[in-house]
Chain A
Amino acid sequence: MLFKKLFRLLVLGGAMVGSASGCAGAAQGQSASDKKADDRDGGSPADGGSATAQDADGGAADAGGGGGVPGW
């Protein structure tokens, strides 16, 4: 029950907020660095990017991999 309510409140409610003011600009306007990322030049976690990305706090990556954000 709690989770169903959260899905409606956060996911569906958030999507409605997001669509309230028109659309974001299309990706054609992205910078060169964004295009590079889109081309996956940066690799994906599968090539080892994320495996060493976590510090003790789950914070920023130290080798280009992605990390996470701790919550409550």
Chain B
Amino acid sequence: MTDEVRRLAGAAWAFRARVEREASSRFVRLAAAIPAFDPGSPVVGLLRRAAADEDRHAALCADLAAAYGGPAGATPVDASVAPRTFGARDAVLYEMVAACCIAETESVATLATLLAGAAEPRVRSVVHEIARDEVVHGRMGWAHLAREAAVRDVSFLSAWVPAMLEGSVEPGIFSAGGPGSEPDELLRHGVLPSWRKREIFVGTLEEVVFPGLDKLGVPAAPARAWLTERLAGRVSPGGMR
């Protein structure tokens, strides 16, 4: 393994450890908020279990990061990503869509792609364990959105989906080179090259997330326009200007 591959793999697993810790805190917070307006929701129990899953995932990712000599990882921050002007119920819906319908759904696609490749045994074992749980985590968002859409108009979220996407994607993914621009060996260590990541991100949006939002009352047209702009390179990655 080259030093560059070791460094990139260590940084990627350290980043994932932080993402998983933050997800745990977020799920605990959301589980506490939902009963105020939907006491019978099955999503509450799923969120509590998911928080425990994420703690376990964080430890697995941190161990792999350490094995690659990666950084210990920054302190996780738990802050709502919803607009501050939103009331409690709308803010929960915003976060469930951003965290589960988008981020967890994208994660499942990434994990499935990694599992289809030839990963190192230790990496494969971790990816396999995490993938089992992430399917349930993705479903939680779609379940919550479906419950809300059944009782009220959720189309107001439509205009906010581009902001959710903006914050979910790694800066530079749209400007990254094609096959051969990064070491192929990265895949064995659980890291997708940027071009492959872009392919998965776009495919998941176009065939899973956008149709799902449309189906459940959140028109995806603004999100599709965001993606079209990104793919055309008309907007610089990292900020909507």
- Give me the interface of A with B, judged by CB distance under 8 Å: 2-4, 6-7, 9-11, 13-15, 17-27, 29-38, 40-46, 49-51, 53-54, 58-61, 64-72
Q: Which residues of B contact A14 (CB under 8 A)?
A: 138-143, 145-146
Contact of B88 with A by CB under 8 A: yes
Q: Are A17 and B143 in contact (CB under 8 A)?
A: yes
28 contacts between A and B (CB under 8 A): A7-B211, A13-B142, A14-B141, A15-B143, A18-B41, A18-B146, A21-B40, A22-B40, A24-B40, A24-B151, A29-B37, A30-B87, A31-B87, A36-B87, A42-B84, A44-B156, A46-B159, A53-B163, A54-B167, A60-B77, A66-B98, A67-B167, A68-B103, A68-B165, A68-B166, A69-B95, A71-B102, A71-B110
Q: Is the CB of B90 within 8 A of A38?
A: yes
Contact A6 B167 (CB under 8 A): no
Which B residues are in CB contact (< 8 Å) with A34?
86-90
Q: How far is the CB of B192 from the nearest CB of chain A, in Å? A: 9
Known pairs A58-B166, A66-B160; A21 contacts B139 (CB<8 A): no
Residues of A within 8 A of B162 (CB): 45, 50
**Set B85, B104, B169, B211: member contacting A43, Cβ < 8 A:** B85
Contact B163 A37 (CB under 8 A): no
Chain B residue, CB-CB nearest to A4:
B207
CB atoms of A68 and B163 under 8 A apart: yes
A37 to B104, CA, bound (A): 26
Q: Do A15 and B159 touch across chains, with their CB atoms under 8 A apart?
A: no
3 residue pairs, one from A and one from B, having the closest CB atoms: A68-B167, A42-B85, A14-B142
The answer to whether A65 touches B163 (Cβ under 8 A) is: yes
Question: Is the CB of B221 closer than 8 A to any CB of chain A?
Answer: no
Q: Which residue of A lies closest to B238 (CB)?
A: A54
Interface size range of chain B in the complex: 35 or more
Closest to B19 in A: A70
**Known contacts A67-B166, A69-B167; can you find 7 more A-B pairs with CB under 8 A?**
A10-B208, A11-B211, A13-B139, A18-B42, A24-B147, A25-B39, A70-B168
Report if B240 contacts A (CB, 8 A): yes
B150 at interface, CB cutoff 8 A: yes
Check B139–A69 contact: CB distance below 8 A.
no
Q: Are A66 and B143 in contact (CB under 8 A)?
A: no
Known contacts A45-B162, A60-B81; is-contact A10 B42 (Cβ 8 Å): no
Query: A23 to chain B: which residues have CB within 8 Å?
Result: 147, 150-151
